[in-house]
Amino acid sequence: MTAGGNGRAAFEDFIVREASLLDARRFRDWMDLFAEDGTYWVPAVPDQKSPLDQASLFYDDRDLMKTRIERLEHPRIHVQTPPSRTAHIVGNVVVEDSDAAKGEYVIGSTVIMVEYRDDAQRVFAGRQRHRLRRHGDGFRIVQKRVDLINCDGAFEAMAVPI
């Protein structure tokens, strides 16, 4: 744990911009923030230990992410007719771990996403953790994990990533 106050703003900027790409439905640009070995994980169990032996709401590697995004771009995706509109807010950002020598960082934050679609509005909320790797002047996401407070609840259809 070497990071003090310095650098937090850069991480916060990064994850705020990441969320804003989802709100803008720029899904391909969003995917490009992930490293080639990057994963997007939304567990379905509180404090889930592993995505390998338990079901998850999302556990996408780049391949599944690509399939998901191709579907989001498909003209006949019924569950996005009309499309979702979302607004994310990211806060309570904490640098949980950092290894400047390796260029690897773990950033915790709280996320709230409000989604409106087809006359209905709903709220998702939880704690998220970004594992980032330095990439040139910026970062690539090694893993984005979102622990929703209601992760083991019953959900109506969810089409867009949180």
Partner 1 sequence: MRNGHADEIARLIEPGRVHRRVYTDPDLFELEMERIFGHAWLFVGHTSQVSEPGDFITTDLGRQPVVMVRHRDGSVHVLLNRCTHRGAKVVNERRGHAQRLTCCYHGWSFDTDGRLVTVPVPEGCAADFNKDEFGLASAPRIGEYRGFVFASLAAKGPSFEDHIGPVKGNIDDLVDRAPDGALALDAGMHRYAFNGNWKLQVENVLDSYHVPFGHASTVNKDGMQFARREGDQKGATVVETGKKQTAASWKDRKSFIAGNGHGWTSNTALDDGKRSSPAFDAYKKVLAEKVGKTRAGEILTPRLHNSLIYPNMSIMGLNIHVRVIKPIAVDRTEVTVYPIRLVGAPASMNFGNIRLLNVTHSASSFVQTDDLESFVRAQKGLKSTMTDWVDISRGLGAEQPDRERNVTRGLATHEMVVRAQYKAWLGYMSAAA
Task: Please give the residue ranges that form the binding site for partner 1 (CB under 8 A).
Answer: 42, 44-45, 48, 51-60, 64, 67-68, 70-71, 74, 76-79, 81, 152-159
Distance CA 44, CA 47 (A): 9
- CB closer to partner 1, 48 vs 109: 48
CB of 51 to partner 1, least distance (A): 8
- CB closer to partner 1, 96 vs 147: 147
Contact present, 143 and 130 (Cβ < 8 Å): yes
Within 44-137, strands assigned E span: 56-60, 85-99, 104-117, 120-135
Distance CA 124, CA 127 (A): 10
CB of 110 to partner 1, least distance (A): 20
ω into 83 cis (within 30 of 0): no
- CB closer to partner 1, 13 vs 73: 73
- CB closer to partner 1, 76 vs 102: 76
Q: How many residues does the chain have?
A: 162
CB of 65 to partner 1, least distance (A): 10
CB of 50 to partner 1, least distance (A): 9
Q: How many CB atoms lie within 10 A of CB 60?
A: 22
48: Cα separation from own chain's centroid:
16
